[in-house]
Amino acid sequence: MEKWRATSNLRRSLKSVLNRRLSPGSDFTYFNEKRSFPARFNPIRDQRSLREANAIQYRYFSSVSTLVQRNPSFSTLNSDDISYFKRLLGEKNVIQDEDRLETANTDWMHKYKGSSKLLLQPRSTEEVSQILKYCNSRCLAVVPQGGNTGLVGGSVPVFDEVIVSVGSMNNIISFNKVSGILVCEAGCILENLISFLDNQGFIMPLDLGAKGSCQIGGNVSTNAGGLRLVRYGSLHGNVLGVEAVLANGDVLDMLGTLRKDNTGYDLKHLFIGSEGSLGIVTKVSILTPPKLSSVNIAFLACKDYSSCQKLLMEAKRKLGEILSAFEFLDNQAMNLVLHHLDGVRNPLPASMHSFYVLIETTGSDESYDREKLEAFLLSSMEGGLISDGVLAQDINQASSFWRIREGVPEALMKAGAVYKYDLSLPVEKMYNLVDDMRVRLGNLAKVVGFGHLGDGNLHLNISAPQYDDTILEQIEPYVYEWTFKHRGSISAEHGLGLMKANKIHYSKSPETVQIMASIKKLLDPNGILNPYKVLPH
């Protein structure tokens, strides 16, 4: 069930709702308001004419279903609030300018748009604390924002929440060359951290396509996965400490730099992955692995999905400790990338293969790793697991292979509307979902599958020329129910955000969701932090 973003008072008045048939088996009713649907009203057409009237170019994810209602217990901003913030942060860091608000209100996919009137840019934890203390006392809803690269609408306001951007807090506080422990502020851009560490001979334990824009605070708040999880594990293992500000302004200093600390309940794990709903992360201390000199990367073609699976098993066994990434993409994903991105060429142009696998190894001995990788690849080829492949001979070729895999989301954006699903499924069953969706959707849309095969994470993307509810109906809740049936996760790494706020029951039991709600109530009694998201409302 998707929500229709209201962007202006004019639109908000058109709150007609189509009575949605609830999916069989689900006994949750989240929305009380269901009015009858006037026959003439076409959400897509009227929305478009409205859009034209307002001269806004965004593609909205219109939905024939229910609306999120703005929580009436939240106050609205008044001039006293603005003056307070200006006194606290200085004129420059209180943004009310239309254009900048426009960018901050819209997510990366141009799928969600809020109508916040205020963007704040604190420069220290103390300022964040004062902001939240004030907002809590005034009951003003707040959206923490980092790089705004999230894919589930968790980083932008739904209505007029105040946007608190930690982007100005981008200092590296300390780095210990012996232990590799990096302490930095939440607004540091991931790519900048990677460059800094590169000079010191270390790397970040996570790497994602969004690294040029995403910030470490956001990465930690969403427990970002990325391309190297198969080697370095998740952020729950690599983050040693977090400093967070709670809704009432209290600063929770859990910024340890110790590898082992078993004293009491480890609260920082609550903040890792809570998507800004329990507190705003302001500082992070993270364990960084040493940069190893020998990186090798191979781009391979497999004829069917079961070969990809077997290849993964073989890779884990034969490459063992040097395996650092195992990604896959299917034929359609490859076609999209070749078609929509510049400067990308097919490493295996001889013929179009059904599946492509990217394997990366990282180790300390160039010739040893090379031999190991070549031996593995040759035996896999002889065993019929790989039908063709290439090995990068220099860093440029290696980057071009990564460009293909990391460019799939970008290519999908250029191709038109995209419905994105990020699922954790048992590796054997993963691609069956893609095949099922192809059958269900037929000619309506293109179904593309790619992802972190090494972690059992499928990125199922459905590409259509434009957003269309007939397509959406075929996808949801089928995808979620399929995932539920196989005990998978409806959100492997992207988080719940706004998109899946009411879907948590597909992957978590009611009892666990109850406890989550209690924790939320404990840490944020007024519910001002990132409302309407993550947990069902």
Binding site for another protein (CB under 8 A): 198, 293, 295, 298-300, 345, 347-348, 366-367, 374, 377-378, 381, 386, 388-397, 399
Tell me which amino acid residue 267 is.
L
- 284 CB-near residues (< 8 Å, 6+ apart): 183, 184, 185, 186, 216, 217, 220, 239, 241, 242, 243, 255
424 forms bridges with which residues in the sheet? 457, 489
Provide the minimum distance between the beta carbon of 379 and another protein in the complex, in angstroms, as a whole number: 11
* Closer to another protein by Cβ: residue 104 or 357: 357
Q: Which helix (H) or strand (E) holds 357?
A: strand 355-363
Provide the minimum distance between the beta carbon of 389 and another protein in the complex, in angstroms, as a whole number: 4
Q: Residue 417: what are its φ and ψ, rounded to 5°?
A: -80, 145
Tell me which amino acid residue 13 is.
S
Q: Pick from 458, 452, 462, 466: which is nearest to 486 by CA?
A: 458
Distance CA 59, CA 110 (A): 6
Provide the minimum distance between the beta carbon of 201 and another protein in the complex, in angstroms, as a whole number: 10
* Closer to another protein by Cβ: residue 218 or 389: 389
* Closer to another protein by Cβ: residue 151 or 297: 297
Distance CA 130, CA 133 (A): 5
Provide the minimum distance between the beta carbon of 211 and another protein in the complex, in angstroms, as a whole number: 16
Provide the minimum distance between the beta carbon of 279 and another protein in the complex, in angstroms, as a whole number: 37
Provide the minimum distance between the beta carbon of 404 and another protein in the complex, in angstroms, as a whole number: 12
* Closer to another protein by Cβ: residue 402 or 431: 402
Provide the minimum distance between the beta carbon of 291 and another protein in the complex, in angstroms, as a whole number: 10
* Closer to another protein by Cβ: residue 180 or 241: 180
Q: Which helix (H) or strand (E) holds 432?
A: helix 430-441
Provide the minimum distance between the beta carbon of 317 and another protein in the complex, in angstroms, as a whole number: 19
Can you read off the two tokens belonging to residue 281? 């992360």
- 375 CB-near residues (< 8 Å, 6+ apart): 318
Provide the minimum distance between the beta carbon of 347 and another protein in the complex, in angstroms, as a whole number: 5
Write the CA distances from 476 to 42, 117, 434, 468, integer angstroms: 20, 33, 14, 12
Question: Three-state SS across 207-273?
Answer: CCCCCCCCEHHHHHHCCCCCCCHHHHCCHHHHEEEEEEECCCCCEEEECCCCCCCCCCCCCHHHHCC
Instruction: Say which residue the tokens 């209290």 belong to.
Output: 250
Instruction: Say which residue the tokens 């110790």 belong to.
Output: 258
* Closer to another protein by Cβ: residue 388 or 481: 388
Can you read off the two tokens belonging to residue 494? 């992207």
Provide the minimum distance between the beta carbon of 377 and another protein in the complex, in angstroms, as a whole number: 6
* Closer to another protein by Cβ: residue 71 or 192: 192
- For 6, the 3-state DSSP assignment is coil
* Closer to another protein by Cβ: residue 80 or 394: 394
* Closer to another protein by Cβ: residue 258 or 395: 395
Can you read off the two tokens belonging to residue 224? 């970002």
Sheet containing strand 251-254, strands side by side = 172-176, 181-185, 280-287, 239-245, 251-254
Provide the minimum distance between the beta carbon of 501 and another protein in the complex, in angstroms, as a whole number: 42
∠479-484-490 over CA atoms, to 5°?
60
Provide the minimum distance between the beta carbon of 207 and another protein in the complex, in angstroms, as a whole number: 16
∠278-3-64 over CA atoms, to 5°?
160
Provide the minimum distance between the beta carbon of 453 and another protein in the complex, in angstroms, as a whole number: 19
* Closer to another protein by Cβ: residue 388 or 469: 388
* Closer to another protein by Cβ: residue 139 or 378: 378
* Closer to another protein by Cβ: residue 379 or 514: 379
The 10 Å CB-count burial string (b at 16+, else e) for 7-40 is beeebeeeeebbeeeeeeeeeeeebeeeeeeeee
* Closer to another protein by Cβ: residue 166 or 398: 398
Provide the minimum distance between the beta carbon of 352 and another protein in the complex, in angstroms, as a whole number: 16
Tell me which amino acid residue 480 is.
Y
* Closer to another protein by Cβ: residue 40 or 345: 345
Contact 462, 435 (CB under 8 A): no
